Amino acid sequence: MNFPSALIEEAVNQLSKFPGVGKKSALRMVLHILKQEPQDVIKLAQAVEQVRTLIKYCNRCHNVSDGELCNICQSHKRNSELVCVVEDLRDVMAIENTSQFNGLYHVLGGVISPINGIGPDELKIASLVSRAETENIKELVIALSATPEGDTTTFYISKKLAHLPIQISTISRGISIGGELEYADEITLGRSIVSRVPYGK
């Protein structure tokens, strides 16, 4: 693409670094920016800059936070004997939205993925082990994606914690609520038969 202005070229190049945003979408975003009031664009730019430069992470669970400890870790209403291990912030938000979990979290910051150069040391696994050793955790729910990387990470964590008297569980897999059998993929359907549960439980 030949741009009529160096400013536009730079903005398109920067915006097209976002995942799923190509040069054409980035140009559409720049045209949108050009139609906004300057003070609104300055607000946008500040929000983008500040979310990176001012963000803090909870010292305990590594979730993003506005202070040293996140709201969830600070709350006395949460069950601190139950900890859910997730990949990132989005998973915390998704589980919080269900209102079905009353424990604390531990945010790994990713899953083990050798192909992307992510080993256990890039994740918050050592800090999870240290929490497991020092805090009074009874049960650890590992809620990672059902992908080879997620399964590897689940296995690695379970090995690392095998010496501790902590119940390790994973979230259940199966047919979605409201899902029809004929549209389910074979692996999920097969697994839902193998891991069937007694009716009424």
Q: How far is the CB of 113 from a second copy (least distance, A)?
A: 14
Site for a second copy in 123-162 (CB under 8 A): none
Q: Which of these ranges, 61-69, 77-85, 117-125, 193-201, lies near a second copy under the rule CB under 8 A?
A: 61-69
Nearer to a second copy, 64 or 189 (CB): 64
Question: Could you say which of 60, 68, 69, 72 contacts a second copy (CB under 8 A)?
Answer: 72
- 86 counts as binding a second copy under rule CB under 8 A: no
Residue from 7, 146, 164, 187 in contact with a second copy (CB under 8 A): 7
Binding residues among 17-46 for a second copy as defined by CB under 8 A? 17-20, 25, 27-34, 36, 38, 41-46
Is there binding between residue 122 and a second copy (CB under 8 A)? no
Range list of H helices, the chain: 6-15, 23-35, 38-53, 71-74, 89-98, 125-134, 148-160, 186-194
Q: Which residues lie below 8 Å from residue 107, measured CB to CB, with a gap of 6+?
A: 61, 62, 63, 86, 87, 88, 89, 91, 92, 124
Q: Does 59 bind a second copy (CB under 8 A)?
A: no
Would you give the end-to-end CA distance of the chain in angstroms?
61
Note whether 69 binds a second copy by CB under 8 A: no
Q: Which two tokens stand for residue 30?
A: 């720049």
d(CA 23, CA 103) in angstroms, rounded, equals: 43
Asked if 52 is part of the footprint of a second copy (rule: CB under 8 A), the reply reads yes
Q: Which structure tokens are listed for 146?
A: 């059902």
Contacting range for a second copy; rule: CB under 8 A; set: 10-18, 149-157, 169-177, 193-201 = 10-18
> Are 73 and 61 contacting, i.e. CB atoms less than 8 angstroms apart?
yes
Answer whether 6's CB lies under 8 Å from 28's CB. Answer: no
- Residue from 59, 60, 62, 63 touching a second copy (CB under 8 A): that is 63
Q: Contact residues for a second copy (CB under 8 A)?
A: 1-8, 10-11, 13-15, 17-20, 25, 27-34, 36, 38, 41-56, 63-66, 70-72, 88-90, 92-93, 96-97
